[in-house]
Amino acid sequence: MIFIKTFKLGVRITFWSLVCVCALTASTILANDYPEKARLFTRSLEFDYVTWTVQAIWQKTLQQSVSLDDYLPAPRPSEIVREYLKVESQIAQLEAEIEIRYADPNQAGKEAVLQELHKQLDQRRRIKNVLAPVAESTLQEQIGVVLAENGLAFLGQPLPPVLYHSTPLPTALIISPRETIQQDANISLSADMTAGDMSVLEDRVMRQLDVSALVVLVGGVGIYPTMVMPTSDLAWLADTVAHEWTHNFLTTRPLGLNYETNGELRTINETTASIVGGEIGNLLLKKYYPDLLPPEVIQTPETEIVTENEGTSPPESNEPEEFEYRKEMHTTRVRVDELLAAGKIEEAEAFMEQRRQEFWDNGFPIRRINQAYFAFYGAYADVPGGAAGQDPVGPTVRALRAQSGSLAQFLQQISWVTSYQQLVDMVKDKPK
């Protein structure tokens, strides 16, 4: 009986995995030849999704067939999630301390200290390995319950079922033309690249192909089971798991199938997933972990639209103006778009480097800002401002959500969108 149950679960997980792997693979092959040219530099560095998926399917099949959380008293699963996150935090702290100790040239007897730290780290990792299957299973079930409560389920079960695995994530090489901001390639690379490795690869690709390139860190990948970066932040984790589930949901629908058709549809996809992830993650915390809810952010008209204040002067103040990340990044993107539209590529690139240094000086250590940076981060437009600049796509997605009666209605309707104009028409046709 256990064998039959395990076999059925394995078949179901494998089916969704194949669907999502095919979609993910297709998403890196675009109409131009940038991906294949770039792979002259990346083939030996590319991430092996097939091996990772096979291993993850096996782990999840065993986890789902055993259902360890069924054998625990009712209050225990959530407590195990909390303990798992606590251990994850301890691991991060130990790793940071070990790195500092290694770099300290003046500490006497640091070998003994490092040996003890490594011993503690190994112990925490063993504990994490024991807790992880139950913690992941519990969060999957809890997110599934929240999705079902919000109308995003069939016969009480979200489709696909919520499955994720915390793991070191691949990095991604993003390529954009220099003359405009546009993602022309997204190639998944090894998870263990150093900042130096990233810079060397970017410089080679930019020099040889005359493009803008950037290797970015990602928090999740919409393969199946979905990949999620290890973290001790439950709010971020729940948001990301729900975000990647949304990509899985969209994979078999027109919006997801057309993810790479153009930049507008990619932005619609990512903004939609970010909206769903944020709402479902917040609802999960309210239901199961209310003490971990982050403070609410009160939206004001000033946070919705970032514009220059024409014709008036700000009130005088002796206090230095606070450097607001999203506002400053919005301003940067708008100016870059203006320079590129005027054909001033070198001036735009010099301006982006100048701004990067300003961000760095104000506590935001960004390694590189270029056209590829905005091509990647500008697609996540669920919050006003930021790297999207004045791109109208994100605000239109947010407008549809605001006009929708429920999250399920919003997701079902937008999942059939195949063009930005269709989305605009949906918003226009909504009753006021």
Please state, as a whole number, how many other Cβ atoms lie within 10 Å of the Cβ of residue 421: 10
From residue 145, how far is each of 141, 150, 162, 290 by CA, in Å? 6, 9, 10, 16
pLDDT digits (tens, 9 = 90+) for 234-243: 999 999 999 9
Output the pLDDT for position 25.
Answer: 39
Q: Which helix (H) or strand (E) holds 288?
A: helix 263-288
Confidence of residue 291 (pLDDT cuts 50, 70, 90): very high
Q: Using CA atoms, how far apart are residues 261 and 68, in angstroms rounded to an integer? A: 42
Higher pLDDT, 112 or 250: 250
**pLDDT more than 70, % of the chain:** 81
Q: What's the confidence (pLDDT) of residue 317?
A: 46
- Indicate the pLDDT class of residue 344, thresholds 50, 70 and 90: very high
pLDDT at 309 over 70: no
pLDDT digits (tens, 9 = 90+) for 15-59: 445 555 544 433 343 434 666 788 888 888 999 888 888 888 877
Residue 32 CB neighbour total at 10 angstroms: 11
pLDDT at 426: 94
Helix (H, G, I), strand (E, B) or coil at 214: strand
From CA 200, how far away is CA 223, in angstroms rounded? 28
Residue 63: what pLDDT? 62
pLDDT at residue number 115: 87
Q: What is the tens place of the pLDDT at every residue in 360-370? A: 999 999 999 99
Amino acid at 179: E
pLDDT value at position 89?
Answer: 96
What average pLDDT does range 168-176 have in this prediction? Answer: 94
Beta strands 164-166 and 226-228, pairing class: parallel
Distances (CA, A) of 341 to 214, 347, 356, 373: 21, 12, 21, 17
Q: Which pLDDT score is estimated for 28?
A: 41
Helical residues (DSSP H) of 293-344, grouped into ranges = 301-304, 325-341
SS3 324: coil
- Those residues with Cβ within 8 angstroms of residue 377's Cβ, 6 or more apart along the chain or in another chain: 216, 386, 387
